[in-house]
Amino acid sequence: MNWRTMGILVSKDFTLFFRNRFFAVITILGLVAYAAVYFVMPSSVNETLEIGLYAPVVPPALEVMQEAEGGLEIERVESEEALRGGVSGGQYMAGLVFPADIMEKFEQNQRPEIKVYVASDMPDEIREVVNSLITEMAYLQTAQALNIDWQPEILGRDMAGQQIPQRDRIRSLFAIFILVTEIFGLAGLISEEVERRTAWALLVTPMAVRDLFTAKAVLGTIMAFSQAFLLLAVVGGLGEQPLIVVTALLLGAVLVTGVAFLVASLAKGFLSIIAWSVPVLVVLIIPAIGIMMPGAISDWIKAIPSYYLTETIYQVSNFGAGWGDVWRDLLILAGFNVAILSVGVLALRRKFQ
Amino acid sequence: MGNYSIVAEDLTYWYGDLVAVDHISFHVADGEILGFLGPNGAGKSTAWKMLTGQLKPKGGRATVLGRDIAEDSQKVQGEIGVCFEYTNLYEQMSASENLRLFARLFGVRRFDDEALLRRVGLEGWGKHRVEEFSKGMKQRLMVARSLVNQPKILFLDEPTSGLDPVSAEAIRTVILEERERGATIFLTTHDMMEADKISDRVAFIDQGKIVALDTPHNLKQTYGKRALKAEVAADGGLENIEIPLDMDETPDAVRELFSQKKVITIHSEEATLEDIFIRITGRGLQA
């Protein structure tokens, strides 16, 4: 390995990368945009159940429940029409309409008719919560409170009251986006080197093909890692264990470098690079989307290498996970890297022969 | 006999079933310009690639500057200069940046890019990006790039192909200057005029084999025919008369021409390398 030659090649590629206006603009714009989106998103999760109520008479049990249970906020409105408007407009998660004779019905052991309004996009969980709330109120009001005691035991860190805001969930997604965007840049540089045949001019100087490949790998890793690191540092994604995040990002950068080698070996020209990169990019970001929508994706995503990167960053940034929690993920990611980089180098080598 | 910069022995290369270079052997002496002539597809570029370490020979061997090119290509490449037929410059870098990049790769410590640009007629263009250059300027820059390490051997692949006369002449001048400096030149071309003008010896390559190798003068002596060509007045028009020079009857024929005809123009004509190539191979260099 000739380090001096590699240094010269890496410095040359940096120059060329930033002279390509498309890559330079997309790189800087991407960083700024991701950071801006992060800071615009809410920094906390609203855990309060906001309910609108139109009721000529309010059962005392409901007031008792509101005082006793945190996270329940009931706002009375003047009319049923106003209540419907508030639910449709997203002001309330649900709207309740109690009949004027609700107390008489309770006292006569009859069934009062309670209307519940929910917005069309409200998830099932919220509907269930509202149903439970009404049932509990009815039991309480009719002196039929459930005859049980319960004490929850939290396994792991109690996140009640400190749910992870969407913007912190999305940090992993941003990191993956930044990393995979580099596939375009590096594959573009390699492909251009082949298409313009400048690689052959380099290879008749006293340097070996492996020097050229190593220089490209170093460049790709530095470019991808430095941007992802910068973004996570700005948006506070390094967590309490920055060394783990740095390790994960480095492995992620090597992963996209290997993928870029593969894309460059298949593609001819810029449009071809886009065509090959986009499907790969979509697959690589699926695990990060899975974090945004927990439960939506099943175990098969563990076959995607970026899952182990996403999971590590997510666990460390948001739950304070340590080496003991993530070493397996990092090891699997490193294994994927060795495989993908080897295949990438072999495939690319054929182009240089 | 002087030392040889290049020695090829039984050099062979094939692509699948196609034998591109078929057991060729030749040598190039130090400071010599060898023109490697042949039509497209004759195998000259494949031979050129093997000699510059871009392809490993599949048969035979070649030593360049005393080293086996297949075994020691990196060391050889440090001492040679290579100029490609196609443009492969970094277009988004300036002319000087291109030259300095290669000077650094060759480990040249004191490098004067302006002086080199001046030699190829590109003074004042150093800071301009290559993408602004014309084809001729790019080719001159390619030649300049092949000189950054003051090579002991200069391998040039069709260096003047498709260029305007000014650029082509500038490149030929540089080639001759390099020979004066002591460099050996290996020049592949299908331009027989160029090869004739600047080569010490020329090799004809056809279908992967060397079919003739000698000085242009000797080739013409061996294979060519010399003649006098005259235009004479005849019946209100002009008539062309050709008198071969290498016959016993030539003096009488010349005397008869001047005594019996009104000679309008007269000149001697030598066979060109292309004529000789056609005579040897049965086909032209442009094929």
Contact indicator for B244, B226 with CB cutoff of 8 Å: yes
Is a pLDDT exceeding 80 seen at residue A71?
no
User: Which residue of A16, A196, A205 is in closest CB contact with B105?
Assistant: A205
Q: Render the burial of B181-213: b for 16+ CB within 10 Å, e for the rest.
A: eebbbbbbbbbbebbbebbbbbbbbbebbbebb
Give me the residues of B, 79-138, that contact A with CB < 8 A.
80, 82, 84, 86, 88-93, 97, 101-102, 104-107
- Looking at the structure, do residues A124 and A200 belong to the same domain, yes or no? no
Is a pLDDT exceeding 70 seen at residue A162?
no
Among the residue ranges A46-55, A252-261, B107-116, the one predicted with the least confidence is A46-55
Is a pLDDT exceeding 90 seen at residue A59?
no
- Looking at the structure, do residues A36 and A54 belong to the same domain, yes or no? no
Contact indicator for A94, A72 with CB cutoff of 8 Å: no
Q: Looking at the 3D structure of chain A, how many domains does it have?
A: 2
Question: In the predicted model, what is the mean pLDDT of residues A316-325?
Answer: 85
Is a pLDDT exceeding 80 seen at residue A45?
no
User: Which residue of B74, B80, B88 is in closest CB contact with A201?
Assistant: B88
pLDDT tens digits, one per residue of A233-247: 998 888 778 999 999
Residues of B in contact with A201 (CB under 8 A): 82, 84, 88-89, 102, 145
Tell me how close the Cα of B186 comes to any Cα of chain A, in angstroms. Answer: 15
DSSP summary character for residue B272: P
Residues of A in contact with B93 (CB under 8 A): 12, 15-16, 19
Is a pLDDT exceeding 90 seen at residue B55?
yes
User: Which residue of A19, A20, A200 is in closest CB contact with B54?
Assistant: A200
- Looking at the structure, do residues A269 and A299 belong to the same domain, yes or no? yes
Half-sphere exposure of A211 (CA within 13 A, CB side): 19
Helix (H, G, I), strand (E, B) or coil at B283: coil
Is a pLDDT exceeding 90 seen at residue A249?
yes
User: Which residue of B74, B84, B93 is in closest CB contact with A206?
Assistant: B74
Tell me how close the Cα of B106 comes to any Cα of chain A, in angstroms. Answer: 6
Question: In the predicted model, what is the mean pLDDT of residues B70-75?
Answer: 93
- What CATH code would you report for B4-215? 3.40.50.300
Residues of B in contact with A211 (CB under 8 A): none
- Looking at the structure, do residues A208 and A92 belong to the same domain, yes or no? no
- Looking at the structure, do residues A330 and A271 belong to the same domain, yes or no? yes
- The reply to whether residue B84 touches residue A12, judged by beta carbons under 8 angstroms, is no
Of A108, A141, A174, which marks where a domain is finished? Answer: A141
Contact indicator for B185, B179 with CB cutoff of 8 Å: yes
Best of B79, B89, B90 to disrupt the A interface (most A CBs within 10 Å) is: B90
How distant, in Å, are the alpha carbons of A84, A136, A297 from that of A124? 19, 18, 18
- Looking at the structure, do residues A243 and A331 belong to the same domain, yes or no? yes
Among the residue ranges B26-40, B64-78, B222-236, the one predicted with the least confidence is B222-236
User: What is the four-CA torsion angle of A252, A255, A261, A266, rounded to 10 degrees?
Assistant: -110
Is a pLDDT exceeding 60 seen at residue B287?
no
Domain ranges of chain B: 4-215, 225-269
Nearest chain A residue to B53 by CA distance is: A204
- The reply to whether residue A208 touches residue B74, judged by beta carbons under 8 angstroms, is yes
B204 pairs with which residues across the strands?
B37, B212
- Looking at the structure, do residues A20 and A113 belong to the same domain, yes or no? no
Alpha-carbon gap, residue A137 to A163, rounded angstroms: 27
Residues of B in contact with A20 (CB under 8 A): 92
- Looking at the structure, do residues A25 and A100 belong to the same domain, yes or no? no
Is a pLDDT exceeding 80 seen at residue B75?
yes
Tell me how close the Cα of B92 comes to any Cα of chain A, in angstroms. Answer: 7
Q: What is the ipTM of this complex?
A: 0.87
User: Which residue of B53, B90, B97 is in closest CB contact with A204?
Assistant: B53
Alpha-carbon gap, residue B76 to B68, rounded angstroms: 9
pLDDT tens digits, one per residue of A168-218: 878 888 888 889 988 988 998 899 899 999 999 999 999 988 999 999 999
State in Å, rounded, how far the first CA of chain A is from the last one: 20
SS3 track for chain A:
CCHHHHHHHHHHHHHHHHHCHHHHHHHHHHHHHHHHHHHHCCCCCCCCEEEEEECCCCCHHHHHHHHHCCCEEEEECCCHHHHHHHHHCCCCCEEEECCCCHHHHHHCCCCCCCEEEECCCCCHHHHHHHHHHHHHHHHHHCCCCCCCCCCCCCCCCCCCCCCCCHHHHHHHHHHHHHHHHHHHHHHHHHHHHHHCCHHHHHCCCCCCHHHHHHHHHHHHHHHHHHHHHHHHHHCCCCCCCHHHHHHHHHHHHHHHHHHHHHHHHHCCCHHHHHHHHHHHHHHHHHHHHHHHCCCCCCHHHHHCCHHHHHHHHHHHHHHCCCHHHHHHHHHHHHHHHHHHHHHHHHHHHHHCC
- The reply to whether residue B77 touches residue A206, judged by beta carbons under 8 angstroms, is yes
Alpha-carbon gap, residue A166 to B107, rounded angstroms: 53
Is a pLDDT exceeding 90 seen at residue A166?
no
Q: What pLDDT was estimated at residue A150?
A: 73
Alpha-carbon gap, residue A337 to A343, rounded angstroms: 10
> Is A33 domain-assigned?
yes
- Looking at the structure, do residues A111 and A172 belong to the same domain, yes or no? no
Q: What pLDDT was estimated at residue A145?
A: 66
Residues of A in contact with B89 (CB under 8 A): 198, 201
Closest residue by Cα to residue A348 from A179, A180, A193, A218:
A193
Is a pLDDT exceeding 70 seen at residue B79?
yes
- The reply to whether residue A202 touches residue B145, judged by beta carbons under 8 angstroms, is no
- Looking at the structure, do residues A317 and A171 belong to the same domain, yes or no? yes
Residues of B in contact with A18 (CB under 8 A): none
- The reply to whether residue B105 touches residue A16, judged by beta carbons under 8 angstroms, is no
Report angle CA B161, B164, B167 to the nearest 5 degrees.
85
Task: State chain A's mean pLDDT as an integer.
Answer: 86
> Is A152 domain-assigned?
no
Nearest chain A residue to B89 by CA distance is: A198
> Is A149 domain-assigned?
no
Tell me how close the Cα of B55 comes to any Cα of chain A, in angstroms. Answer: 8
- Looking at the structure, do residues A54 and A135 belong to the same domain, yes or no? yes
- The reply to whether residue A206 touches residue B104, judged by beta carbons under 8 angstroms, is no
Alpha-carbon gap, residue B38 to B17, rounded angstroms: 21
- pLDDT band per the 50, 70, 90 thresholds, residue A296: low
Residues of A in contact with B74 (CB under 8 A): 206-208
Among the residue ranges A23-37, B23-37, B137-151, the one predicted with the least confidence is A23-37
> Is A156 domain-assigned?
no
- Looking at the structure, do residues A33 and A53 belong to the same domain, yes or no? no
Q: What pLDDT was estimated at residue B1?
A: 45
Q: What pLDDT was estimated at residue A27?
A: 83
Helix (H, G, I), strand (E, B) or coil at B240: strand
B59 pairs with which residues across the strands?
B12
Is a pLDDT exceeding 70 seen at residue B285?
no
Select the highest-mean-pLDDT range: A92-96, A117-121, A299-303, B74-78.
Answer: B74-78
- pLDDT band per the 50, 70, 90 thresholds, residue B221: confident
Q: Which domain holds residue A253?
A: 3-42+164-351
Q: Render the burial of B123-161: b for 16+ CB within 10 Å, e for the rest.
A: eebbeebbeebeebbbbbbbbbbbbbbebbbbbbbbbbe
CATH number at residue A74: 3.40.190.10
pLDDT tens digits, one per residue of B231-261: 998 888 889 988 888 788 889 999 998 998 8
Burial of A325 (0-12, 13-18, 19+ CB in 10 A): middle
Task: State chain B's mean pLDDT as an integer.
Answer: 91
DSSP H/E element including B209: strand B209-214
DSSP summary character for residue B148: T
Question: In the predicted model, what is the mean pLDDT of residues A76-80?
Answer: 89
